[in-house]
Structure formats: structure tokens, C-alpha cells
Structure 1
Amino acid sequence: MGEKIVVSVHSPDELSGDDRRSFVECILEGGEVNPATLTQLLDRAHRVAFAKDGGVVQGVAGLKNPNVGYRNQTFKKAGVPDMAEKFARELGWVYIKPQARRRGISRDLVKKLLEHAQGAVYATSADVNQGMHRVLRLFDFVPVGTAYASRDGARAIQLFVLGHEGRCGKDYA
């Protein structure tokens, strides 16, 4: 490590086989996604982003086209079901390899992906992931509803939204 981090954004159909494998490996390394559905969800994504250092993947993120049922359930669990239909995109799959953390990579990935958002975006983040909460707030995401239990019940999940009631984020040039 030590070279300049290069962030690139792609539609899923533009990915080479190697990039696709690297993306999936990173996400699975994070341990929060069902491996049985990840490749199908990746195919449905709006955009995916890579952060590479010397050509080596250090982090990834995605701007997803969530399944309507999943999106609606997420907003319902947070206690704000009426907001769900306003959000066509989900920011997620943000994962930075441990050796690359605390270098601003998640911020850079989110910034690049939001350039492709085309509308209101939501994200969820575990209550213990305060670093991600800071990044989301930096880009004008706001927490809404109440935190709800994760699938395994081990932590609370907070719903964040961007683009609601005129909030469209800032120009982070």
C-alpha cells in the first residue's frame, strides 16, 4: 500500500470476471450478506465502485436497485413504512479491507457512487459502525425512524435517507 487510491464506478455488466470475483470476495469478507443471493443482487445493482491501491482492491461499495419487498420491509422495521416508495436506490455493500481502513476510502467510494444516484437514496448501518454513520452524515444522509434488530439480533440497524424533503446532498468537489 502507499500508492494513490483510485476509485472507479461501473455498471455490473461492465465488470470483468476478475473484478466481479474481487467484488464478491470483499463483500463476503464483510460477513453481512447472504452468499446465496449476492451474485443475483449484484446483477441487479445500479452501480458498483472499487477502491484500488496499486491495482489491488482495498474496498468496494454499491448503489443497489433493491427488491421492493426488501426495501418496504426495511422501512417498516424502522417504523417509517410510508417513506419507502420514495427511495429507488440503496447505498450499501460498503466494505474496506482492514489494512486499508481509516484512509477515507469509504468516503471516496460513497462520493463517487452518489454522482450516479439519480434520485433519493437510503442506507442502513449497524449502530456499532459509527465510522459509516459519520460518512453518511457527511453526505447529508439523515437517520430516520427507530433502530431495529439485525437478522441475528446481535446489533441494532439504523436507517438513513438522502433526498427526502428536498435534501439532495452537497456538491463535494
Structure 2
Amino acid sequence: MNHVTAKSPADCDAAEVRDFVSLVLQGGEVSPHGLSQRVAGARILSFLRRDGSLAGVAGLKRPEASYRRRISSSAKFELSQELLPLELGWVFLLISARGAKLSLPLCEPLIQAAGSAGIFATSRASNVGMHATLAKLGFRGAGEEWFSKQTAQKLCLFVRDSSRPVV
């Protein structure tokens, strides 16, 4: 049975934050440097449990200005703090949980928590399943693809304007 819980990092115990960070790092697409602090500064975290075991995570991030500038420059698309203050990220499902359309229920509470705020997200260009989830959540592709600093894969940018209705 699948169960999704979403809560502020301040409401998570140390083990939950540690497990969240551990799953994100398993994806191999996020720098471990400062990750625990970035997770602690997120707006909200989402946890997917299957039969009581953690199987997926996602977060609604408050991206730092330097990161926002780097993504803007890489994608050749302006990520205005005013229009797109939040980022949907750290979406990761264990291999055993993939292909079951679980990224949508994992991410929906984060979109709801954003209210009317604009959100951006990045995804591997080859991750068509995540692209479908982002489209269902009201995101559209934006800018140009670029190569990841973490992997040799291309990334693409998605945005969800603040004018979108909440899911």
C-alpha cells in the first residue's frame, strides 16, 4: 500500500531528514555538498512509503540565488525570483517503485503547498516519465537543454507560472 506524507523540514525528525538526503543522493544527480542544509531550508518535503518502507522523496525548494543564476544561464531562460520563487526538486523513486505512476502523488502535495507561487523544475532530458508528471502538474518546457554538472546527461527546464490554478 502506498502512502504519501508531506511536511515542513522543521516537523521532520533527524532520521526522516537523513533518510530523505540518503534517497536523493542515490539518484546521483545532486551534489552532496550542503545538501542536508538545503533540505532543512526547503519549504516542504514529501515522502512516499510503500508497505511502510520509504520508496520515494521530493521537495519544494527555496533555491539560492547563485543556483538560480546558473540554471538561468544554462537554460538561457530568466528564472525571476519574483515570478518563480520555488523549485520542485529532489524527486527520486527507488527502482522498485518506478513505472507505477507514483511521481504524481508524490509531487501533488508540494504543488498544493506552493499555492499561487510560480515554480520551476529541472529534469534529465531522457526522463520522459517525469516530463509527463510535470505536464500533469501544469508545467511547460522552457529554455534550452544543457549538460549537467553532476552527470554527462542533458537537463531541461520546466516552469509552472503563478497564474496556474492549484492542482
Q: TM range, normalised to the smaller chain? A: over 0.9
| Pairing 1:1-173 to 2, within 5 Å after superposition | 3=1, 5-81=2-78, 83-85=79-81, 86-118=83-115, 119-152=117-150, 154-163=152-161, 166=163, 168-169=164-165, 171=167
Ranges in structure 2 where 5+ consecutive residues have no aligned partner: none
Change (3 A) 1:39 1:120: same
- Verify the 8 A CA contact 1:24 1:39 in the aligned structure 2: yes
- Verify the 8 A CA contact 1:162 1:169 in the aligned structure 2: no
Cα distance in 1 between the residues matched to 2:77 and 2:90: 23
In the superposition, the TM-score normalised over structure 2's length comes to: 0.93
Deviations 1:112-144 (A, max 9, x none): 111101300000001011111110011110011
Q: How many residues were matched structurally? A: 165
Change (3 A) 1:151 1:16: same
Please report how far the alpha carbon of residue 153 of structure 1 lies from its aligned counterpart in structure 2 after TM superposition.
6.0
Please report how far the alpha carbon of residue 84 of structure 1 lies from its aligned counterpart in structure 2 after TM superposition.
2.5
Q: CA RMSD in A?
A: 1.4
**Which secondary structure state, in structure 1, belongs to the residue aligned with residue 126 of structure 2?**
coil
Ranges in structure 1 where 5+ consecutive residues have no aligned partner: none
Greater relative contact order (Cα < 8 A, sep 6+): 2
- Verify the 8 A CA contact 2:7 2:45 in the aligned structure 1: yes
